[in-house]
Chains A and B, each alone.
Chain A
Amino acid sequence: MQDLNDLTRDEGFLSEIINAITSGIFVTDPDHNILMINKPGAKMVGKRAGECFDRKCYEIFSTPLCNTQNCPCRLAMENQLINQGQTMLQFNGQEIPIEYSARPLRNYKGEIIGCVENFIDITERLEKDRIILEQKEQLIKKREEDIRHLQDEIMELSTPVIEIWDGILTLPLIGTLDSHRAKIAMERVLEAIEQHRASFVIIDITGVPMVDSEVASHILQTANATRLMGSEAILTGVGPHIAQVIAQGGVGLENLTVRGRMTDALHFAIGQLAMKSEQVARAIALVRGGSSE
């Protein structure tokens, strides 16, 4: 384009191009009069391009921004900057989400003589975004469910209570012991005591990497609950480091029966059981003798 004459000659061709663009484009002067609008732009508000000329843009279009301080064209012209954003175009009682961009228009001297605004219907894009977001949420939800399921599974697996001798249970604890797990472990031990009539429970913490005062108090609670059931807890697998932590923490694990290894605990428990069965025999004999007197 060399000069204005070229523009006149090319005007028909240029307007063809502008009309071929799918987004709406219109040009206003500083007083918001529409100087030019392409067909798709006018069509979006159900008008023909010819009906829009020389009318105020806010008469043709209706958005929450129109004819306010925040009018994109006004801001673009005042700040001499491109103004972009999204808003809702109201037409026929419906709201169409649009994305707009307004750009100040200058003459050859660099003075601002108007504004070009183009806008595009983003209903479909928003809908797609919404669907993507929904799918993402569903995915996250599903993953969370899976994780929870796995956690439950691990929880189930990680608190086994095994009867290794008549009347002797073991609770080998593995992994970190939070209050939730501690409670589950305790409940299962107590149920097992009731079921097996177990006199001893060996709590092994070889597999517990970290014992702080909280974990120690959980162990102590379990031991005390075991005592209330009428059974006795033996703690094994206390490493040198953990022993120090417990001693410094002062949680009172000192009163617990502690043995170094599971083997020692088993020896101790079996020995005690043998002694107790003798006592039971003697007691029964005594009671019989007493009642026959």
Chain B
Amino acid sequence: MQPFSFFPLGHMLLVSIQEDIGDDEVARMVAGLCRQVGEKKIRGVIVDLQNVEVVDSYMAGHLQNMAAGLRLLHARMVVVGLSVPVVMTLTDFGIQLSELDFALDVEKAVARLEELLYSDRHG
């Protein structure tokens, strides 16, 4: 079973990532994501990390790369579901993820994406 799943939400796409995702699988996921974004005219991607217990610098790097790649495909990305221990660890390691956008839950992520897309359209 692949450790990630896509859920289409209109012009948005919800990506849920499971705990034990390896580098190869991340690559496969990004490839699949980019294909879907291109084919289905997706404008917003929500990455759900609720089931991820450890976000290390590799994972952080993958997320940053994903956001940058999606930007080139004219789509925006919002990360949701970071738990308190994950955030504490990231802060301890000084990982800021300043390029990324975050939301509390999927509902708020949808709103945040709307906001981002609106500002993209209207300068």
Q: Would A190 and B87 count as touching, CB distance under 8 A?
A: yes
When the two chains form the complex, which single residue of B8, B104, B114 contacts A199, counting CB atoms closer than 8 Å? B104
How many residue-residue contacts, CB under 8 A, span A and B?
A: 79
| 51-86 of chain B: CB within 8 A of chain A | 79-80, 82-84
The smallest C-beta distance from A224 to any residue of chain B, in angstroms, reads 6
- Interface size class of chain B, counting residues whose CB lies under 8 Å from the partner chain: 20 to 34
Q: Are A229 and B11 in contact (CB under 8 A)?
A: no
* Residue among A199, A229, A231 with the highest chain B CB neighbour number at 10 A: A229
Say yes or no: B102 contacts A194, CB within 8 Å. Answer: no
B104 to A, closest residue via Cβ: A230
Would you give the shortest CB distance from B102 to chain A, in whole angstroms?
A: 4
Residues of A within 8 A of B96 (CB): 224
- B29 contacts the other chain (Cβ, under 8 Å)? no
Interface string of B97-117 (1 = CB under 8 A from A): 110001111011111011100
Tell me, yes or no, whether A266 is within 8 Å of chain B by CB: no
Cβ contact within 8 Å between B11 and A290? yes
A215 to B115, CA, bound (A): 33
Chain B residues closer than 8 Å to A286, beta-carbon distance: 10-11, 114
Given contacts A186-B91, A187-B84, A190-B88, contact A229 B111 (CB under 8 A): no
CA distance A284 to B96 in the complex (A): 30
> Across the interface, do A225 and B103 meet the contact criterion of CB distance under 8 Å?
no
Q: Are A187 and B110 in contact (CB under 8 A)?
A: no
Pair B87/A225 contact, Cβ less than 8 Å: yes
Interface string of B1-30 (1 = CB under 8 A from A): 000000011111000000000000000000
Q: List 25 A-B contacts (CB under 8 A).
A: A190-B84, A191-B84, A194-B84, A197-B105, A199-B104, A199-B108, A224-B91, A224-B96, A225-B87, A225-B90, A228-B82, A228-B91, A229-B82, A229-B87, A231-B104, A279-B114, A282-B114, A283-B110, A283-B111, A287-B10, A287-B12, A289-B10, A290-B9, A290-B10, A291-B9
